A and B are shown apart, each in its own frame.
Chain A
């Protein structure tokens, strides 16, 4: 589904990503792990078009993503969440989720201004779908709250709801459980499993190893912008290169 080949990204002369290659198979959860500064978020930004990749190719269903602007990538059915939440604080929770359906709501400003019956009808359907998504994440009671009034854990869930309400084919999750407590993490873990069971393809960037090892089908390890290991959670756990990257050379030799 998503295939990366030789992806590189340089900031000035500094390589942030170097020859990264892996495939995220459809219907599976691929986890992307690595120490801080390994280039995980840079990679997500390259895939979504926020940053242009300097080298290599990123293909989604055979379509080249490199060079596409972010909104075009989103319209191909790739949704994402952000590492540091990017909700719209002034909009209501429901409207925040509805922004996740932008691609389906029609693009013509003129039609929007005329609000013809077909658009009214579609608007009502989208609303129902957004409410349904909120319900799935246990937020239906707070649909009309401004997002600014939500607690941190709820905001994370709203962002997740916004990312999956449009039934995207690929969801990129940038640290969905960062800063959450154990109970909340378990809840998000359940949601991710459910999304996977529903047939979504997921790419998860996460530091929480317990979560990653329990739900990932495939783990890709990045270190200093290079892909150093790839395999099932068990394989990766035993890989000496991974241990070295995480624990440092000195502690391994010591």
Chain B
């Protein structure tokens, strides 16, 4: 092997690890260059969304299910730590882990029941769950503060170092993103991940290959709920204030749009989808005013022309084209 070939082989073999390393480096350098708290606030919000979308993409894109209720898990994470730290006086990290465990349990029970359904019925069931949670947050004034929200949530801290500014929070939240990203990338490159991809493609065939369909669906549902809950807790500690408006069914729909734009079953696409949909209303005022219209339009267009999602759809298109061209060459 020449040196060049060896380099190419090395790059191909470690492409995932190298990309993650490059991303980590970029994220480390970014706050040194960009010190505007507003911009950092936007990227932090992207990070929070990415954590939820990673899990949701595993559930929608890999396991082939649908959930219109993930904002509810996000809400439970946020309100859970808020109540536990302020009312319950628990340490923030303990509250975060405890709430995530409780959400996992809830998702397990919910998943065992709801994942007997599929398609429209599953969409309706998860939507209903979101509405229930949202209504409880609005009405249960004594605990949640009702429509006016819940404030005074302390920031997360390690010893005396509190993550109380946008700049400091950047490192914390993107650290979580990288961790979730690595775990998800590992998962999809394993036998379990291929089983999930098979499940999304064809349930009967997946079962014939030894994939326990019900178990796999529930597992991924629980995993995505835990990620959403963790992101919710980070959200609460970052802003110090939560209100039910952030967790209505439109928030759930936005999360699904992020998955769709990023692409079903694409881990890297999740990053792109979350970033684009978070940034759009910040970039252009017209998007902010007509946010729901724009998001609806994006969703319809993507599903009409690239049902696998924007990024995945385009990548698939190119891959099939290339292979077909090579097939033509072979035949000729």
Contacts and interface: CB of A to CB of B under 8 A. Distances in A.
Interface stretch (A53-61, A85-93, A131-139): A85-93
A209 interface: no
Contacts of B205: 82, 86-88
A119 B308 contact: no
Given A109-B192, A113-B183, A149-B327, A90 B209 contact: no
Interface in A121-161: 123, 126, 142, 145-146, 148-149, 151
B192 A88 contact: no
B320 interface: yes
Contact of A86 (B197, B204, B210, B308): B204
A70 B207 contact: yes
A134 to B, nearest CB: 15
A146 B190 contact: no
A112 B201 contact: no
B213 A71 contact: yes
A71 B316 contact: no
Interface stretch (A14-22, A29-37, A98-106, A197-205): A98-106
Which of B183, B187, B210, B213 counts the most A-chain CB atoms under 10 A from its CB?
B210
B186 A99 contact: no
A119 B205 CA distance: 24
B202 interface: yes
A218 interface: no
Contact of B207 (A71, A100, A104): A71
Which of B198, B219, B320 counts the most A-chain CB atoms under 10 A from its CB?
B198
Nearest to A78: B208
A69 B191 CA distance: 20
Given A102-B209, A115-B189, 9 more contacts: A50-B204, A75-B210, A95-B197, A99-B209, A102-B198, A106-B190, A112-B187, A113-B187, A146-B316
A145 B191 contact: no
A130 to B, nearest CB: 11
A74 B210 contact: yes
B209 A100 contact: yes
B186 A114 contact: yes
B192 A70 contact: no
Nearest to A98: B194
A16 to B, nearest CB: 18
B55 to A, nearest CB: 12
A103 B210 contact: yes
Interface in A60-87: 69-71, 74-75, 79-80, 82, 86-87
Which of B207, B209, B212, B326 counts the most A-chain CB atoms under 10 A from its CB?
B209
Contact of A105 (B194, B201, B202, B220): B194
Contacts of A98: 191, 194
Interface string B307-320: 01000000010011
Contacts of B324: 149
Nearest to A126: B191
10 contacts: A74-B209, A86-B208, A98-B191, A98-B194, A99-B194, A99-B195, A100-B209, A115-B186, A146-B316, A162-B209
